[in-house]
Amino acid sequence: MTQPTGDDPSQTLMRQIIGIFDEYTSRENGKNVTRAMRENAKQGFWNGAKPPLGYRICDVELRGAKMKKGLEVDPVDAETVRLIFRLYAEGGGHSGPIGVKKVTEWLNSNGYRTRVGAKFGIGPVHGILTNKCYATGKWPYGVKNFQTKQKHDPSTVIEINIPTIVPMELFEQVQRRLSSNNPKVTPPRVVNGPTLLAGLAVCASCGSGMTKSGTRRRGKIYSYYSCAGCKLGGRSVCKGGNIPLEKLDGLILDNVTQQLFNPERMGVILGALVKRTNTKDAALDDRRNRLKAERKDKQEKLARLYRAIEDGIVELDDDLKVRIATIKQERDIVQTSLDRIHVQATNSQELTPDKIAAFAKLAHDKLLKGDAQARRAYLRSIITRIEVSKEKVRIIGDTNVLAGAVSGRRDGPQNVRGYVRNWRALQESNLWPQD
């Protein structure tokens, strides 16, 4: 109110100088507030943002006149979060695992609401399923700039300890299924479509997928599995062939339930794997020990670099960022190799006759009595592909995947990205460079 506002040159100069000092003071205040909030987060306290569903803000410690805040589990909302994970991973009891959209519909139709009393949306439910803090108990603070929305350097992110809500095994199972159902990996028609063998059945002649087709005769609809290569490119691409939809579904279900999901048959299939895995292999032990030593070396290098940055010995420049990212990538590759060895060993140790019999009975019941989604989920969890020709049908799977399913780790076949929405829309597939 007392600053000069006239049009005199001296008053204009004074107003501009005062504006510069005001701006400087504002930036200094922002820098000090940011530093104080980061220090508060380093000490494990909550800075006042809206907590994720399943948590609530609570008083932790009184420091002078300031009450420090933290997060605790909200029993009501936490049960809703656990339910969302169970629905996506296992289903509602009367069906197999369901998708994000179906989970959202189930919650809304059964009277579940958000903290503010609103209905759930697909985006928020997907955000809950991908939020690591529910399983890791680590809430990242300072991931991105609030104003510019640009992400900060990962090495500067602070993790606040919070209680966990879901077990890590369930969270990892959900992430594997989310990755498999990603529209960039698997077309939505394969995940949500009514066809049982969509995404599994392929033509043995050309390798194209078998898609649903049909005809209408005298008011009756006849459905078939037809070679997509023949339908799209003509008989010059593939002679193709049609097989009645119900006939192929019946053949697959009958043979899988009678020959594969039979305890004796599964014991024979998995027996060789168990025997081979349990055999003492000095080379494998040596590799495991080398990987552990290499992982320890990478972790120590990262710790030394972080300590040097914190102590001010070195500055975090672009070259050092690249070096840290390279060491992290090498460490992650080593950890992935160790995890794969561990999973294979664990699967073989958990393959008992009782587990094989229980899994065979459960899968048999689901395939015969479950709905389309449950049947498709169980088939996709153990079968890689189904080759269909006029003479025979071949069911192909991975023994390690079957072992993981029996031992409770239904990872499913690992697919590469095979579908990208609107890829090269209205253009040729392979374009020459502009120059």
Are the C-beta atoms of 366 and 337 separated by less than 8 Å?
no
What pLDDT score does 261 carry?
73
pLDDT at 24: 93
pLDDT at 83: 92
Measured CA distances, 418 to 138, 190, 209, 212 (Å):
33, 12, 12, 19
Residues with Cβ within 8 Å of 256's Cβ and at least 6 positions away in sequence, in order, are: 367, 379, 383, 395
Helix H or strand E encompassing 322: helix 318-349
Residues in the chain predicted with pLDDT less than 70, given as ranges, are 1, 3-5, 93-96, 183-194, 271-284, 343-352, 368-374, 400-401, 403-435
pLDDT of amino acid 227: 86
Contacts of 248 (CB under 8 A, 6+ apart): 197, 201, 210, 225, 388, 393
- The pLDDT assigned to 255 comes to 81
Q: What pTM does this model have?
A: 0.55
